Amino acid sequence: MKQLQDRGTLVLAFIAGLAINGTFAAVFSSVVPFSIFPIIALVLTVYCLHQRYLNRTMPVGLPGIAAACFVLGVLLYSAVVRAEYPAIGSNFLPAVLSVALLFWIGFKVRTRKAQVTE
């Protein structure tokens, strides 16, 4: 059950990264059309993360992985938007950094899982 809660925190951090970059792009970018949904997603995700922070203790190592998931969400949204709207710029760097970060997160999660089972 504890690993499921940890995954939920990581997913919420990833969604928060997507939502904050989506909100920023929707509000400040003239190329991306405005939408209220990233703002709603950001508010709900931050509220859920805050409730998790108040009600549960985070195990050792999880805050770093959660921060990496947040940055992964930011980078992936940036790569997708840049692929959809090429006028913004190339998506090469965000895509490469996303893949590298994804492998690092996978390595850290497997390392944590091996430490928990010992």
Q: Give the 3-state secondary structure percentages of the chain, helix then strand then coil, rounded to 5.
A: 80, 0, 20
Check if the beta carbon of residue 6 is closer than 8 Å to that of residue 59. Answer: yes
**Domain extent at residue 47:** 2-117
Instruction: Report the distance separating Cα 21 and Cα 70, nearest Å.
Output: 10
* pLDDT for 47 beyond 90: yes
Domain count of the fold of the chain? 1
Tokens of 80: 């997708």
Q: Whose structure tokens read 């990496």?
A: 68
- pLDDT tens digits, 51-110: 998 998 888 888 999 999 999 999 999 999 999 988 888 999 999 999 999 999 999 999
- Of these ranges, 2-11, 24-33, 89-98, the one predicted with the greatest mean pLDDT is 89-98
